[in-house]
Amino acid sequence: MNLDQINPILLIASLMVAATPILLAAIGEAVVEKAGVLNLGVEGMMITGAVVGFAIGVNSGSPVLGFVAAAIAGAALSMLFGFLVLYLLSNQVATGLGLTLFGLGLSSLIGKPYEGMKVPTLAKWDIPLLSDIPVLGPILFNHDPMVYVSLGLVAVVWYVQKSTRAGLILRAVGENHDAAHALGYKVIRVRLMAIAFGGACAGLGGAYVSLVRVPQWVEGMTAGAGWIALAIVVFASWRPWRVLLGAYLFGGITVLQLNLQAAGVAIPVEYLSMSPYIITILVLVVISTRGKHGAPGSLGRIFHASH
Amino acid sequence: MTETATVDALLTLDGLRKAYPGVVANDNVSFEIKPGEVHALLGENGAGKSTLVKMIYGLVKPDQGSMVLNGEPFAPANPAAARASGVAMVFQHFSLFDALNVAENISLGMDNPPHPRELAARIREVSQAYGLPLDPDRVVGDLSAGERQRVEIIRCLLQDPKLLIMDEPTSVLTPQEVEILFHTLRKLTAEGTAILYISHKLEEIRALCEHATILRHGQVVDTCDPREESARDLAEMMVGSTLHVPSRETVEPGEVVLVVDKLDLKSATEFGTDLKQVHLEVRAGEVLGIGGVAGNGQDELLGALSGEALAPGAITLKGEDVGHLGPNARRERGLLTAPEERLGHSAAPDMSLTENALLTGAVRENLTQRGFLKWHATEDFARKIIKDFDVRTPGPDNAARSLSGGNLQKFVIGREVLQRPDVLVVNQPTWGVDASAAADIRQALLDLAHHGAALIVISQDLDELMEVADRFTALNEGHLAAPVPTRGLTVEDIGLMMGGMAEDAV
């Protein structure tokens, strides 16, 4: 065992990369849930985004086009969910689970021809001057653009929810959809837009796995990241900056346990591999026992404008 | 009609009709509202009042008929259009967002809200001008019912409405708060605003309104000046027949059957009220009325008595400590309860009436045998409730949800009364129930007391408590005032008790 092998600067830099797919999916899902809809199909939208992004990336040679296509694919899949739950009033939990199963199947169908292929990946931005700062430079200013996009999204979501009328309406619809309807707000339209945003974010998160992190197509490669994203939304009490904290915490533990494995720590690999999930569960339990978690009042409830 | 009559009117409704599948909610409704008048809309539950005001507020489109506002045709496509035309509405079930603050809530009800800082200043200004103080930064979930209503009213006032629609505005207020509200409304009408006022409380309508339109089965059946009619006449116009007034025979109260002593209870819900040192005694044959504004510990007190919340050592039933026992054990010993929330608390909405009868009746009516259900006996029990309490339903197989509020309430109360309780605790027994059903329910409660049961009636309807209770007390922030005899009590005394300012040594 040799803990000196672990370089803290590289560890922090790589945790940002490890956390980005979850962060993207979680910030999208936070918006969806803030609008009062529980979409458990994050995993399905992520894996669909992963395969579509990879396929378009391979065929066009442009990772940027791959990301755009992944966002569109995720949003399209989420619209299927939106149609089912908002217009046909289907149960959100069951429909979301179905969406995940559907996405997993669809992705392996699309992805079959692409197994083992290589894809052009996003280049790192070596931001001049800033990346030369000792310690902070390699940690913060030497990443691919999607890392900064994900951070920017968190800031935008925070600002929109806190300071704009659109954000206020979004929160109102999620807090009490009957009251929002009585005041004349278009509950279904607001929710559809939120769901589409969530789908696009999940698609981006999936594409980040297949185009940057791995970069390859492997069936089922998101490996539960969508579920972790859902857990992080609860962990974060539906607040954007806490979503960031949760995602980086999870990413950090993931990267740390990989480093510990490499350093040959005398803990069985299986335990190290499960540690991020166990810690997520523990954190959720601790948060739940505190009682007040600020869930949107109408979360998961079916809205019908009949009364 | 003549030209002048239409010009005078602020809003004229002409032949409005709205039908839903299987029911005509409004048919050929015509009347007019003049500027500066308080116009009452009266009718039993299901008479079509809500549908009518929803049409005026643009939430529902009429099938037939037309409206004229200020001499111009008025057909709002949505609430925003109605608000733009000067129609504002305060809802019966407050349309507020608990997690948002006062200013955000008000901003959501406006079409072109000013900048938050400016809005906060205007809220302070208007709330002071109309005597309804309100802090724009407070989170609405922490406000009392009266303060929540202020939020709604100020939301309306900020848009200078010409017509203000108020649906049951006083059902959650103390008498003092009602006074403040009436003061505000009179100030508004003096400025020329018309008010369309919906209430079940006939005395209030007589005190406030100059004109009343009475709806029955969706049609206008009568109009009158409520100041010149008695409350009883108004009620009979609504019901369309003579009203049965519950009668009571005074009996000497018997032994003390239920004692609650030094009950401290922490509320299980986030916005609930903790009970503090509650003490009460009830005797056989006596009705104890507990008033108070909603959210002052009523639900918690009912929960502590029913056994949903345990209170070891604090509750004694017929000499036996039952504080540590759960609901079924207490039922077995004769302590029954009927909570306020009909759908979801006292009845399971999607289960049939038979199943609902079983849920509380299993123990006392012997409806189970070695873990198996006795369906025939249960169905007979459900039928008996339906028959004895005149529950209007096709049969016991219907889901609880399919019954109207009044009918389900009769079923829920009947279910407990027929189990011959020694002590029955009810919370809001006639909330949202129309006049004739309410009279039936009160009569059943009085009959039960006459046959020797002890009753605790928790209610926010003071007229109801005056009618049924022998002794009166009130909950205020989890404290229970010392009970006083109902006879000779004035509205001022009651108001002070509800405000927590009564002298305990009465």
The average pLDDT across B283-303 equals 88
Is any Cβ of chain B less than 8 angstroms from the Cβ of A76?
A: no
The average pLDDT across A72-91 equals 96
Q: For position B244, what pLDDT does the model report?
A: 65
Is any Cβ of chain B less than 8 angstroms from the Cβ of A282?
A: no
> Shortest CB distance from B270 goes to which of A171, A180, A292?
A292
pLDDT tens figures, B357-399: 999 999 899 999 988 999 999 999 999 999 998 888 888 998 9
> Shortest CB distance from A184 goes to which of B80, B97, B107?
B80
pLDDT tens figures, A256-285: 888 888 888 888 888 888 888 888 888 888
The average pLDDT across A226-245 equals 92
Which helix H or strand E contains B38, and what residues bound it? Answer: strand B38-42
The average pLDDT across A111-121 equals 92
pLDDT band for position B243 (cuts 50, 70, 90): low
Is B148 in a helix, a strand, or coil?
A: helix
Cα(B295)–Cα(B304) distance, integer angstroms: 15
pLDDT band for position B331 (cuts 50, 70, 90): very high
pLDDT band for position B502 (cuts 50, 70, 90): very low
Indicate the domain borders of chain B: 3-239, 256-498
Task: Please classify residue B501 by burial: count the beta carbons closer than 10 Å to its beta carbon, then call 0-12 exposed, 13-18 middle and 19+ buried.
Answer: exposed
Sign, Cα dihedral of A143, A104, A229, A150: positive
Task: Please classify residue A129 by burial: count the beta carbons closer than 10 Å to its beta carbon, then call 0-12 exposed, 13-18 middle and 19+ buried.
Answer: exposed
**Per-residue pLDDT for B317 more than 90?**
yes
Task: Please classify residue A71 by burial: count the beta carbons closer than 10 Å to its beta carbon, then call 0-12 exposed, 13-18 middle and 19+ buried.
Answer: buried
> Shortest CB distance from B95 goes to which of A165, A179, A292?
A179
Could you report how far apart the first and last alpha carbons of chain B are, in Å?
A: 60
A292 contacts B95? CB cut-off 8 A:
no
> What are the residues whose beta carbons fall under 8 Å from the beta carbon of A147, sequence distance 6 or more?
A16, A17, A20
Interface test with B, best of A175, A299, A302 (most B CBs within 10 A): A175
Question: Taking CB atoms and an 8 Å cutoff, what residues of chain A touch B95?
Answer: 176, 178-179, 182-183
Sign, Cα dihedral of B235, B239, B242, B248: negative
Q: For position B1, what pLDDT does the model report?
A: 41
pLDDT tens figures, B24-72: 888 999 999 999 999 999 887 677 888 899 899 988 889 999 999 988 8
**Per-residue pLDDT for B6 more than 70?**
no
> What are the residues whose beta carbons fall under 8 Å from the beta carbon of A73, sequence distance 6 or more?
A48, A49, A52, A53, A203
Question: Which of B89-93, B331-335, B501-505 is predicted with the least confidence, judged by mean pLDDT?
Answer: B501-505
Instruction: Find, in chain B, the residue whose alpha carbon is nearest to that of A173.
Output: B97
pLDDT tens figures, B417-432: 999 999 999 998 987 7
Q: For position A307, what pLDDT does the model report?
A: 47
> Shortest CB distance from B100 goes to which of A171, A178, A184?
A171
The average pLDDT across A205-233 equals 93
Residue percentage of chain B with pLDDT more than 70: 93
Compute the mean pLDDT over every residue in chain A, rounded to the nearest whole number. 91
Is any Cβ of chain A less than 8 angstroms from the Cβ of B107?
A: yes
Q: For position B391, what pLDDT does the model report?
A: 87
> If one looks up domain A3-126+136-289 in CATH, what number appears?
1.10.3470
**Per-residue pLDDT for B247 more than 60?**
yes
**Per-residue pLDDT for A59 more than 90?**
yes
Q: For position A289, what pLDDT does the model report?
A: 78
Task: Please classify residue B104 by burial: count the beta carbons closer than 10 Å to its beta carbon, then call 0-12 exposed, 13-18 middle and 19+ buried.
Answer: buried
Cα(A220)–Cα(A105) distance, integer angstroms: 9
**Per-residue pLDDT for A220 more than 60?**
yes
Q: For position A169, what pLDDT does the model report?
A: 95
Domains B3-239 and B256-498 share a fold: yes
pLDDT band for position B295 (cuts 50, 70, 90): confident
Which A residues in the span 152-171 are in contact with B, Cβ-Cβ below 8 Å? 165, 168-169, 171
Interface test with A, best of B89, B97, B158, B404 (most A CBs within 10 A): B97
pLDDT tens figures, A10-32: 888 899 999 999 999 999 999 99
Of A73-82, A125-134, A296-305, B160-169, highest mean pLDDT: A73-82
Max intra-chain CA distance, chain B:
78
Predicted TM-score (pTM) of this structure: 0.73
Question: Which of A113-117, B17-21, B448-452, B501-505 is predicted with the least confidence, judged by mean pLDDT?
Answer: B501-505
Is any Cβ of chain B less than 8 angstroms from the Cβ of A172?
A: yes
> Shortest CB distance from A182 goes to which of B91, B100, B104?
B91
Check whether domain B256-498 has CATH 3.40.50.300, yes or no = yes
Q: Give yes or no for a contact between B103 and B120, defined as CB atoms under 8 angstroms apart.
A: yes
pLDDT band for position B495 (cuts 50, 70, 90): confident
Compute the mean pLDDT over every residue in chain B, rounded to the nearest whole number. 86
pLDDT band for position B506 (cuts 50, 70, 90): very low
Which helix H or strand E contains B475, and what residues bound it? Answer: strand B471-476
Check whether domain B3-239 has CATH 3.10.20.30, yes or no = no
pLDDT tens figures, B256-291: 999 999 899 888 776 678 899 999 999 999 999 998
The average pLDDT across B221-233 equals 86
Compute the CA torsion angle B434, B440, B446, B447 (nearest 10 deg). -170
Q: For position A54, what pLDDT does the model report?
A: 96
Q: For position B50, what pLDDT does the model report?
A: 82
Residue percentage of chain A with pLDDT more than 70: 97
Residue percentage of chain B with pLDDT more than 90: 39
Q: How many Cβ pairs within 8 Å bridge chains A and B?
A: 50
Cα(A151)–Cα(A168) distance, integer angstroms: 22
**Per-residue pLDDT for B5 more than 50?**
no
Cα(A95)–Cα(B284) distance, integer angstroms: 55
pLDDT tens figures, A175-203: 999 889 888 899 999 999 999 999 999 99
Instruction: Find, in chain A, the residue whose alpha carbon is nearest to that of B105.
Output: A172
